[in-house]
Structure 1
Amino acid sequence: MPDPSVRARPVLLFNRGCPPCVTISRLAAALSFGVVARVPLDTAAARDFYRRHPALEGMPVLVDGENVSAGKAIFVALPRVLLAHGYRRARALAALRRPDPSRKT
């Protein structure tokens, strides 16, 4: 059974038709060392997100679980996203290394 603390990758929603948005998304993905996945607006996931958050429509948006950052604030949120991702990965690895207490040796 997978650890519930390990969530999907953080995603950055961006508009392919907006050159500054493409540049921002590429830069953010590079600064995140590949942790953040770039997702264009024409995908179903992006349409669903913007349907729930109409005020953010058209802006690059970084989504990490319940945390949402939009516009230039994505660069401020990147360190938090990287630390949270690293913490979740470390917990998942620690859970794998922990011996099963019900198993007798």
Structure 2
Amino acid sequence: GHILVVPKIHFERVEDLSPEISNALFSTVQRLTGPVRRSVNAHALTIGINDGREAGQVVPHVHIHIIPRDRNDGGGTIHSIMSRRPRLSEDDMARIAEKILKEDSSS
């Protein structure tokens, strides 16, 4: 099993979070990681957010999964979802980075 950290106020996407709610949400996740890991004797944790339907978000409300992990549990890594992605050239990555920076400065 795993636990969910869920803000009480509704936000569908991470980008919709206010800075105050975002800080409180991630502070709560950080505070709980040690207690969750130790309480179930896990070796590690996977912490994840499915942000949007195509990413696997079923419930349209921001929530963070804290998933206890052990060696050979078969759960895979976050990198396992990246194996099907196309490889980008350095130029493509630079263009994308430029677009992200432009979008970020306009928000």
Please, what TM-score do these two structures have when normalized by structure 1? 0.30
TM-score by length of 2: 0.30
